[in-house]
A = this chain, B = another copy of it.
């Protein structure tokens, strides 16, 4: 998605440790006009798959999930990172190791919202190691729903989480795949 790549180059910042900050348009301040185009692109890619539910994870996946669900005219479900008082009843649960925060957390989805017969598209802002996606995929499997595929906005290709998922037979579409970054020059190289 050329518009996204241009935005990453223009507005993103590269920090040591292969950190790309796009918090000015994607995951802290959000450019919702731009995000609508992201929603349309995921719809274009997955529109023939019968998707009837979008699944994402709090927090930064929610804005993306919202615009994608608007395009598909279907509900969005977001996995929560901790069990809260206000989730009653039974939940699907999976454990996710966070590369960014060096910790492990549980993600949960109420059993009410994922069911056999659902055709689920998972979306998220970033794909690096792929642990969050693996957790979400696990929730879909537990529910008996069908996983249509995963759509991520920015994939860090050099961390190979996306490659591993594709090798496992899962359709993963990333709107921009970063092959390498240079924190001294700020240069960003995309995968073709």
When distances are taken between beta carbons in the complex, the residues of chain B under 8 Å from A100 are 84-86
Distance (whole angstroms) from the CB of A41 to the closest CB of chain B: 16
Residues of B within 8 Å of A76, CB to CB, are 29-30, 32, 63
What 0/1 readout, one digit per residue, does chain A (40-81) give for beta carbons within 8 Å of chain B?
000000000000000000110011011101100111111010
Neighbour of A33 across the interface among B25, B73, B110, B112, CB < 8 A:
B73
Q: Which 4 A-B pairs have the closest CB atoms?
A: A58-B59, A32-B69, A62-B62, A59-B59
* 12 A–B contacts, CB within 8 A, in A order: A24-B113, A25-B75, A28-B80, A28-B113, A30-B75, A30-B77, A32-B66, A35-B66, A59-B78, A66-B67, A85-B100, A86-B100
A5 CA to B32 CA, complexed, in Å: 27
- Report, as a range, how many residues of chain A touch the other chain: 35 or more
Q: How far is it, in angstroms, between the C-alpha of A33 and the C-alpha of B102 when the chains are bound? A: 37
